[in-house]
Amino acid sequence: MAIRRGKATIELETMPSVIGYAAYVGKKEQEGPLSKYFAHSDDDTSFGKDTWEKAESEMQRRAFILAKASAGIENDGIDVMFGGDLLNQCIATSFASRGSTLPFVGLYGACSTMAESLALASIFVDGGYARAASAITSSHFCSAERQYRFPLEYGGQRAPSSQWTVTGSGCVIVGGHRDNTIHVKRVCFGSVVDLDVSDINNMGSAMAPAAADTLVRFFKDTSTKAGDFGTIVTGDLGDIGSRLLVKLCGMQGYDVPNHIDCGKLIYDPAVQSVGAGGSGCGCSASVLGAYFLPMLERGEIGDILFVATGALMSPTSFQQGESIPSIAHLVQLTKAVKHLSA
């Protein structure tokens, strides 16, 4: 049985294994600094579909197929799928899941959805409620712009503090404990944090307090510090949010020198005109699936704290002048590091 540590952290007794994973991205992401790690992409950002929303569902469907192939498993070996996206009623995920016959649990954690779905999939496997469980999410620049800002045809000018929604999808399949694999050791669910940030063009500042809150809570629950882990990976704080996270953690007595943000890794702001970096559900999901999980699998890093962050606003709440409450969920992934000979 899983052991509860402190207020919000759960230590998984069986340490379920990551048995398969994949990432699928668009053209702009393939042209960024992580180009050589994105093995699966498409130059056509519509993915052969006639709407951006259908394109996002197609991208997610492709990521799921690739993850199943990575795991050597078919639908009948997966007992439940956890997933969601940024769109109203999570249509990218629910439409992508049509016809799969898999039990489906739709989630909305905004850009925190990859960590949220991965945490729940791991708990279900650890508790014996599923032999294998899938965690999936996605975002698409064009579908997100249509919903949250302006249709692309409007040609609105972007603020320097704004972030570019990643066109990408990531899928992770969790199964029972296996030796010599990536294991899920702990999960920590975050609380909703709202420091009254209301600028929709500065999402990093809105989400950083939630990331700091979850990280500090995890450190206190487990009596650990940042140096006890290989890398602390946040979801999509971008440049502004990343700097704020370091400051907020430091104010509470926790330095995080090993912090890396997926929103800063996926694009080159000097040449790609992305403002403060990447964002969207697909940001952390695709970087996790294409970059960090392979490094863990190869034993190049011992473990990571994967902290995906999400802004829990909607077009309606923004139009009503509401602030932007945020949340961050954490998953500790681990594998023994290779000892290289001198």
pLDDT category of residue 340 using cuts at 50, 70 and 90: very low
For residue 221, which of 185, 192, 262 has the smallest C-alpha distance? Answer: 185
Per-residue pLDDT tens digits for 175-216: 999 999 999 999 999 999 998 888 777 888 899 999 999 999
Residue 3 one-letter amino acid: I
pLDDT at position 157 is 53
pLDDT category of residue 307 using cuts at 50, 70 and 90: very high
Per-residue pLDDT tens digits for 232-264: 999 899 999 999 999 999 999 999 999 999 999
Question: How far from chain centre, in Å, is Cα 146?
Answer: 21
Q: What percent of the chain has pLDDT over 90?
A: 79
pLDDT at position 197 is 85
- E strands within the chain? 3-5, 9-11, 17-25, 80-84, 104-106, 132-139, 164-165, 168-175, 182-188, 231-234, 259-261, 278-279, 303-311, 326-334
Report the alpha-carbon distance of residue 296 to residue 294 in Å, rounded.
5
Report the alpha-carbon distance of residue 160 to residue 158 in Å, rounded.
7
If one compares 153 and 255, the residue with the highest pLDDT of the two is: 255
**pTM for the model:** 0.94
On average, the pLDDT of the chain sits at 92
Token pair in block for residue 117: 């779905």
Structural domains in the chain, CATH included, are 3-175 (3.40.47.40), 184-334 (3.40.47.40)
Coil, strand or helix at 162 = coil
pLDDT category of residue 1 using cuts at 50, 70 and 90: low
